[in-house]
Chains A and B, each alone.
Chain A
Amino acid sequence: MTSIRLVRDDLRPPGPPPRRHLLSVSDLTRDDVQRLLGTARTFESALDREVKKLPTLKGRLVVNLFYEASTRTSSSFELAAKRLSADTLTIKSAGSSVDKGESLKDTAQTLGAYDPDVIVIRHPQIGAPQLVARVTDAHVVNAGDGKHQHPTQALLDLYTMHQEFGRLEGLHVAVVGDVLHSRVARSLLQAFALVGIRCTLVGPPALLPRGLDAEMTTDIGVIRDADVVYVLRMQQERMEAGANYVPSLREYAARWGVTPDRLRPGQKVMHPGPMNRGVEIDPRVADSVDALVETQVRSGLVIRMAVLYDVLTGGPVGVRALAAAEVA
C-alpha cells in the first residue's frame, strides 16, 4: 500500500468501526454490555474506599472535546478519567479555535498530535465521532452526536436498572416524550434489545419516528404497566414557532407529562437530565424517592470509568469472571 492510498483512506466508506471505539450501542454485543456493567460494578466498590483514585490509567491522556453544552456528561467523563489517574484535557467549542471556524477534522488532528489515548467527543452533528475516528489514531468514545447516539447514557441507565431490580432481562420500560429528536431513546432502544428489556415508546404522533421497529403508542395510559417510566427531555428548541410537533408545551404537559396520578405507587422513574419540571415531568415525580435521577448520575461516573478502561485495555483483566457472574 502506497502512502497515497493511506491519505485516501479517510474518503473510503468506513467499515464496521474497530472495537476500540465506542461510537454506537449497535457496535456492542450482549457480552460487551455485561462486561462493561461488571467492570463498572468493580469500580463502584473501589469508590467506597477513602482514597478514591485508582492508578489504572496512569500516564494515559484522555481528551474531552465538547461542541455542545453539557454538565453531567462532560463532568463525569472528566472525573472518570481522573479517578483512573489519566491526564485529561477538556476542550469546549466556545473559546477555542472552533470559534474561529476551524473544521472538526482540523481540530481533531491538532489534538491528535498530542497522541491522546482516548478522544471523548460530543457534537451536534450525526457522524462527528466517525469522522474523528477516521482522522485520528485515538480511541474514540461518543458522548452524544446530534440526534444519533449517546451510548454511555444507555449503559449507565442499564447499570441503574440492574442496581434497582437485580436483573435486566424481562423488565418493561416505557420511554415517554420526544423520541424523534432523542439520541438517548435511540441508544436505549438498541441497548434494551441486547439485554432483553421490553420497551414501549410513548409520545405525540409527530414525535414518534416513522419506520422505527419498536412498540409505539400515543396513549400515556400504558406507562402504568411498565417497571420503569423513562422520561425524555422535551427540548425547547423543538418547539419553535411553526414547527408544530405539538400545539404547545402546555398541551404537551397536560397530555404526556409524567404526573403522580399517571404512575403506580412505587413505580420507578428515570430521566437523563436536564429536566424541564412541569413540562415532561411533574416536580412531585422528579423529587419522589422513586425517581432514580441521582443514581443515574452516580452510575454515569462508574460506567464512564468502565468504558475508558475497556477501550484502553481491550477488556478487564482479572475481573471478567466475577463480573459476568454478578451481572448475569
Chain B
Amino acid sequence: MLYLKDRPGANIVVRGARVLDPVEGIDTVVDVRIDAGVISVIGEQLDTNEHRVVDGAGLVLAPAFVDPHVHLRTPGREDEETIASGTQAAAAGGFCVILAMPNTDPVVDSAATLGALVETAGREAEIAVGFLAAITRGQRGEELTEMAELADAGAVAFSDDGVPVASAGMMRRALQYSSITGRKLALHCEERSLSHDGHVHEGAVAAELGFAGYPSVAESVMVERDLALAAYEGQPIHLLHLSSAESVAALRRARAAGVAATAEVTPHHLVLTDDVVRSLDPNVKMNPPLRAELDRAALLDALRDGTIESIATDHAPHALHEKDVPFEAAPFGVTGLETAFAVLYTRLVQPGLLPLATLVERMTAGPARAFGLDRPRVAVGAAANLVLLDLEREWDVDAQSFKSRSRNSWLLGERLTGVVAMTIAGGAVAFEA
C-alpha cells in the first residue's frame, strides 16, 4: 500500500539525542544505531561499527511523521507538484509517509491510473507514498469505483476529497461495498447547498468583507449524516480536515456511542481564525475555511484529548498565477508539508498549549492507526523512520527554500522555531538540512 524508490539501508549511529517516542514510552538521552536501515540497538555509548555518526547532542530524535492528506497534483498538474517534488518537500518537513488524494486529472478511479502512480512512486518517491482512490467515478457522486480492483492495485483508502459525496444513498452503498476491501472511506464533509459560493466562514469577518458565508453547519450536517450512516452500516470512517466546533461535538458523541470514526485537523485550522482573512491574502483561502476562535479552541481541545488523533497538512499546491488573483477568484488551498511541524511547535508547543509528546503522537502513530499503517517508532527491529529535530533553531519561511513546486504558503515571511535536521525514511536518509 506504500511505495517509494529502492535505496540501500543506511548505517548510522545517532549519538546523544533526546529520543522521544510517546507510544513506546521513551523520553531519554540515548544513542540509536541503525544497521542497513533497521534500528538495531538503543543504548548508551554504542559502538559505531564504522557507521556514520550523527551528533544528536541538543537535538530530539523522534518517529518521523505521517501525513494522511496531501495533494501531489499528479497526474495532470505536474507544474504544481510531482511525486518527486512532493516527497522531497515531505522529507524536508520530517515525514516518512504521506497519503495522496485522488482528485487529480484524470481522477484516480481506475486501476490503470493508480498503477501508473504506483510505478512512478517506485522510481521517484523519496519517502513512502500511499494513494487513495476515488469513491465514485470521476468523483461525480454517481457510480462507485471498482473498489476491489483498486484495493488490489494498491489503494490505501477511498476518498472523493475536494467534493463531498452528495447523495446519502450513494454514501451508504460506498460504506457497504468498501467493507470487502478492508479500506476506509475518508470523507470530505460539505453540504454544498449550504456552502455554495462561500469563500469565507460565515461570521463577523465575512459579513464585514462582503463574502458569501460558508457556515460551519455546512460541514457539521454532513459530518452528522456520515456518522449516522457509518453507525448504521457498522463501518469505520475517517473525517477529513475538520474545521468546526459543531463537527467536533458530533464526532465526540458518535465515538462515545461506539462509532469507529477517526478524524484529522490541519495546522492552519489549529492556529488561525477567519480574522486573518481581512488581509485578503489568497494564501489564507482554503476549504474548509478558517473559522472562529471557538472553533479553533474546540479543535485544539479535541486534538489534545485524542478525539481527533491525526494532524494532516492538506498540502494543496497551486501555481503562482492561480493564486495571484483577487481573493474571491483564487482557488482554495495552501501548502503545508515543509512548515507543519515548525508552525505547530512554535504556535502550540512553545506557548504551552500542547505537549510535544502529544504533537509527535498526532503526527505519527495517530494517522498511522487511522489508516491501518505500521507506526513509525523508535524500537529495536523496526525499520528506521526517524526525524531529527533542532528545537532551538529559528528560521524564516522563504519561498525560495521550498522543495515543493508551489509556494502558496500562508507562512511566507514568518519566523518559526524548530528545524528538521534529518529525515530517515524507509531506512535511508531522505533529507538532511
Question: A residues near B, CB below 8 A?
Answer: 4, 8, 10-14, 103-105, 123, 125-128, 130-131, 135, 145-149, 181, 183, 186, 209-213
Judged by a CB distance under 8 angstroms, whether B321 is at the interface is yes
Q: Are B211 and A11 in contact (CB under 8 A)?
A: no
Judged by a CB distance under 8 angstroms, whether B209 is at the interface is yes
Q: Are A105 and B329 in contact (CB under 8 A)?
A: no
CB distance from A69 to the nearest CB of B (A): 18
Please name all residues of chain A whose beta carbon is closer than 8 Å to the beta carbon of B328 when the two chains form the complex: 125-128, 146
CA distance A135 to B210 in the complex (A): 23
Q: Are A211 and B202 in contact (CB under 8 A)?
A: yes
Q: Are A146 and B280 in contact (CB under 8 A)?
A: no
Q: Are A210 and B207 in contact (CB under 8 A)?
A: yes
9 contacts between A and B (CB under 8 A): A11-B324, A13-B410, A125-B325, A126-B210, A128-B328, A130-B326, A145-B326, A148-B211, A210-B207
Please name all residues of chain A whose beta carbon is closer than 8 Å to the beta carbon of B327 when the two chains form the complex: 125-127, 130
Q: Are B210 and A125 in contact (CB under 8 A)?
A: no
Q: A125-B326, A125-B327 are in contact. List 10 more A-B contacts (CB 8 A).
A: A12-B281, A12-B412, A13-B412, A104-B325, A127-B326, A130-B326, A181-B210, A186-B209, A209-B207, A211-B205
CA distance A243 to B8 in the complex (A): 61
Please name all residues of chain B whose beta carbon is closer than 8 Å to the beta carbon of A104 when the two chains form the complex: 325-326
Q: Which of B204, B207, B213, B399 contacts A8 (CB 8 A)?
A: B399
Judged by a CB distance under 8 angstroms, whether B203 is at the interface is yes
Q: Are A149 and B210 in contact (CB under 8 A)?
A: yes
Q: Are A126 and B203 in contact (CB under 8 A)?
A: no
Q: Are A13 and B284 in contact (CB under 8 A)?
A: yes
Instruction: Report the number of A-B residue pairs with Cβ-Cβ less than 8 Å.
Output: 101
Judged by a CB distance under 8 angstroms, whether B392 is at the interface is no
Q: Which of B205, B215, B280 contacts A14 (CB 8 A)?
A: B280
Judged by a CB distance under 8 angstroms, whether B413 is at the interface is yes
CB distance from A230 to the nearest CB of B (A): 17
CB distance from A168 to the nearest CB of B (A): 22
CB distance from B88 to the nearest CB of A (A): 20
Judged by a CB distance under 8 angstroms, whether B283 is at the interface is yes
Judged by a CB distance under 8 angstroms, whether B279 is at the interface is yes
Q: Are B399 and A105 in contact (CB under 8 A)?
A: no
Please name all residues of chain A whose beta carbon is closer than 8 Å to the beta carbon of B413 when the two chains form the complex: 12-13
Please name all residues of chain B whose beta carbon is closer than 8 Å to the beta carbon of A213 when the two chains form the complex: 204
Given contacts A13-B284, A13-B410, A211-B206, contact A103 B211 (CB under 8 A): no
CA distance A211 to B209 in the complex (A): 11
Q: Are A10 and B412 in contact (CB under 8 A)?
A: no
Q: Are B202 and A103 in contact (CB under 8 A)?
A: no
Judged by a CB distance under 8 angstroms, whether B407 is at the interface is yes
Q: Are B400 and A4 in contact (CB under 8 A)?
A: yes
Q: Are A212 and B281 in contact (CB under 8 A)?
A: no
Number of interface residues of B (CB under 8 A): 38
Q: Are A103 and B207 in contact (CB under 8 A)?
A: no
Which of the listed residues B203, B208, B211 has the most CB atoms from chain A within 10 Å of its own CB?
B208
Q: Are B284 and A210 in contact (CB under 8 A)?
A: no
CA distance A131 to B212 in the complex (A): 20
Closest 5 A-B residue pairs measured CB to CB?
Answer: A127-B327, A147-B210, A209-B207, A125-B328, A212-B207
CA distance A200 to B352 in the complex (A): 44
CB distance from A106 to the nearest CB of B (A): 9
CB distance from A313 to the nearest CB of B (A): 27
CB distance from A184 to the nearest CB of B (A): 10
In the complex formed, the residue of B with least CB distance to A190 is B208
CB distance from B280 to the nearest CB of A (A): 4
Please name all residues of chain B whose beta carbon is closer than 8 Å to the beta carbon of A210 when the two chains form the complex: 202-203, 207, 213, 215
Which of the listed residues A12, A127, A147, A186 has the most CB atoms from chain B within 10 Å of its own CB?
A127
Q: Are B204 and A125 in contact (CB under 8 A)?
A: no
CA distance A4 to B206 in the complex (A): 34
Please name all residues of chain B whose beta carbon is closer than 8 Å to the beta carbon of A4 when the two chains form the complex: 400
CA distance A128 to B209 in the complex (A): 13
Q: Are B202 and A11 in contact (CB under 8 A)?
A: no
In the complex formed, the residue of A with least CB distance to B292 is A211
Q: Are B279 and A14 in contact (CB under 8 A)?
A: yes
Judged by a CB distance under 8 angstroms, whether B282 is at the interface is yes
Chain B stretch 291-320: residues in CB contact (< 8 A) with chain A: 320
CA distance A209 to B208 in the complex (A): 9
Q: Are A186 and B283 in contact (CB under 8 A)?
A: no
Q: Are A131 and B207 in contact (CB under 8 A)?
A: no
Given contacts A4-B400, A210-B202, A211-B204, contact A13 B283 (CB under 8 A): yes
CA distance A210 to B212 in the complex (A): 10
Q: Are A131 and B210 in contact (CB under 8 A)?
A: no
Which of the listed residues A123, A126, A210 has the most CB atoms from chain B within 10 Å of its own CB?
A126
CA distance A209 to B209 in the complex (A): 11
Q: Which of A10, A13, A14, A186 contacts B208 (CB 8 A)?
A: A186
Please name all residues of chain B whose beta carbon is closer than 8 Å to the beta carbon of A13 when the two chains form the complex: 276, 279, 281, 283-284, 410, 412-413
Please name all residues of chain B whose beta carbon is closer than 8 Å to the beta carbon of A128 when the two chains form the complex: 326, 328
Q: Are A125 and B329 in contact (CB under 8 A)?
A: yes
Q: Are B324 and A131 in contact (CB under 8 A)?
A: yes
Chain B stretch 338-358: residues in CB contact (< 8 A) with chain A: none
CB distance from A6 to the nearest CB of B (A): 12
Q: Are A126 and B211 in contact (CB under 8 A)?
A: yes
Given contacts A186-B210, A211-B202, contact A10 B283 (CB under 8 A): no
Given contacts A11-B412, A14-B279, A211-B203, contact A105 B324 (CB under 8 A): yes
